[in-house]
Structure 1
Amino acid sequence: MTGVPLAEELLLLAYDDETGKATMPRISLDLGMAAAVLIELALAGRIAYAEGNLAAVDPTPTGEPLTDEVLARIVSDTPHSPSSWVQRLRHGLRDRILGDLCAQGVVRDVDETELGFIHVHRYPVVDPSVEADTRQRLADALAGAAAPDERTAALATLVAVLRMEGALGVSGEAATDARRRLEEIASGAGFSGTVGLEDSVVRPSVGLVVATLGHAVDAALGRRP
């Protein structure tokens, strides 16, 4: 596996660079990051969707510690539905990824005390280059100059499912336009069910996993399809 994990990209988009605080409901982010780790495994050819469940098809480690821990869990367990895996993986995931980003020097942990005894952690950005690359890829995808690769298309789909267009630095009419374009990218990639997978810019195996995880996150957040 190469590049920055999707779950890290999603988290960096969801946290304000200066205040170091989440800009969206944490339950939504937790579910989205769990889906992102599973999508990572699909992109790496390690899991697939079949008969209503996600299951391992290749136990070979990817080289990314967190992703490989999840892969090991899937390999050792019986197959479960996408909804089940998203719920199983979301607990503690955000803290683990924030810790990894701190260790890498991408963000720093600011431990503050409120009301004299409540510890509050903020994570302002130290190295903006990682997030800058993520934002540039999404900006290029939104501009529509060329069809995004499947990794960027998957990230754009997660941003759409989690309704994170505000995290892209747009508001008002621009946010509405961004959401429409994000949904177009998801559709064009075959993730929304409106485009046949044979016409998708991504592999059918990846498309099936992303589509089912998108539905799982929507269902967990109480949204109707």
Structure 2
Amino acid sequence: MTGVTLAEELLLLAYDDETGKATMPRISLDLGMAAAVLVELALANRVAYADGNLAVTDPTPTGEPVIDQVLAKIAADTPHTPSSWVQRLRHGLRDRILGDLCERGVVRDVDETELGFIHVHRYPATNGFVEADIRRRLATALTGGQLPDERTAALATLVAVVRMEPALGLTGEAVADARRRLAEIATNAGFSGTVSLADSVVRPSISLVVSALAQAVNAALGKPKA
């Protein structure tokens, strides 16, 4: 596995390039990143959803340190529900992913002190090309009439699940339009559980994992405000 992971993509979308601060609630992003890591493992054919649980089907490392840490953790444990795994994995995941992005020069760690003793870390972007590509893919998915590729469809679904539309720079009616299109992508990909897996252009195994994780995150976050 090479390139930027889904969890890294979510994090980059959620952090302001200039201030280096998260633009959305911590719990939403942490749950979303945990789900994204599990989706990444499903895309790599390492985990699968069956009998209500997520379990490892292939323990071979992917080559991505953070992803492989999670893979090893799941492999060493008994199968658990998607809801259980997103809660178990979300703690500390953000710091590990931010550290990886810092090492690769995508963001930088700005350590500041407030009130003389409180350390506050900001992560402004140093390589805007990575996030620009992510936003381009999502913009194409939102405005195009075609179902995006498997990874982009999964990313779009995660963006909708963690209610990240404002992080896309959208306001007013554009947020509602984006939400409708993201829901449409999830439905047509089979991620929402309302389309037959036989009719989905996404691999059935991936549809099952994304659908189960989306339900788990939605349940954890509760109903969105009207």
Q: Which residue of 2 is the match for residue 53 of structure 1?
A: 53
The alignment partner of 1:21 has SS state of coil
Map of 2:152 onto structure 1: 152
Rounded Cα–Cα distance in structure 2 between residues aligned with 1:58 and 1:223: 35
- Partner of residue 192, structure 2: 192
- Supply the distance in 2 between the matched residues of 1:89 and 1:6 (Cα, whole angstroms): 15
Structure 1 residue ranges, 4+ long, deviating more than 4 angstroms after superposition: none
* CA shift in 2, pair 1:94/1:44, >3 Å: same
Q: Distance in 2 between matches of 1:218 and 1:86?
A: 11
What SS does the aligned partner of 1:112 have? strand
CA deviation after TM superposition for structure 1 residue 84, in Å: 0.6
CA RMSD of aligned residues (A): 1.1
C-alpha separation between the residues in 1 aligned to 2:76 and 2:108? Answer: 35
Secondary structure of 2:148's aligned partner: coil
| Runs of 5+ unmatched residues, structure 1 | none
Partner of 2:215: 215
TM-score by length of 2: 0.97
The percentage of aligned residue pairs carrying the same residue is: 79
When the two structures are aligned, how many residues end up with a matched partner?
A: 224
Look up the equivalent residue of 1:43 and give its one-letter code.
L
Q: Does 1:6 align with 2:6?
A: yes
What does residue 34 of structure 1 align with? 34
Give, as a single letter, the amino acid of the residue that structure 1 aligns with 2:220.
A
3-state DSSP class of the match of 1:48?
strand
Matched position secondary structure for 2:49? strand
Post-superposition CA distance 1:35-66 (Å, at most 9, x none): 00000000001110000100111111111111
Could you state the TM-score of these two structures normalised by the residue count of structure 1?
Answer: 0.97
2:6 counterpart letter in structure 1 = L
Tell me what 1:62 maps to: 62
Q: Secondary structure of the residue that 2:135 maps to in structure 1?
A: helix
Distance 1:143 1:102 in 2: 32
Deviation at 1:145, TM superposition (A): 4.1
Question: Within 5 A, what are the aligned runs for 1:88-127?
Answer: 88-127=88-127
Give the distance between the partners of 1:144 and 1:183, measured in 2 at CA. 14
Tell me whether 25-34 or 141-150 shows the greater mean CA deviation: 141-150
Structure 2 contact 147–189 (Cα < 8 Å) conserved: no
In 1, Cα distance between the equivalents of 2:61 and 2:116?
Answer: 45
Structure 2: give runs of 5+ residues left out of the alignment.
none
Separation in 2, partners of 1:177, 1:20 = 27
Q: CA deviation at 1:3?
A: 2.6
Structure 2 Cα separation of the partners of residues 112 and 78 of structure 1: 41
The aligned residue for residue 24 of structure 2 is 24
- Mapped partners of 1:187, 1:222: distance in 2: 20
Q: 1:77-96 to 2 correspondence within 5 Å?
A: 77-96=77-96
Instruction: Report the AA paired with residue 222 of structure 2.
Output: G
| 3-state SS in 2 of match to 1:121 | strand
Amino acid at match of 1:123: Y
Cα distance, 1:146 vs. partner?
2.4
SS at match of 1:106: coil
Q: Say if 2:9 and 2:134, in contact at 8 Å, map to a contact too.
A: yes
SS of structure 1 residue aligned to 2:79: coil
Other structure's SS at 2:121 match: strand
Deviation track 1:12-39 (CA, whole Å, cap 9, x = no partner) reads: 0000010000000001100000000000
User: What amino acid does structure 2 have at the position aligned with 1:151?
Assistant: R
CA distance in 2, matches of 1:12, 1:126: 11
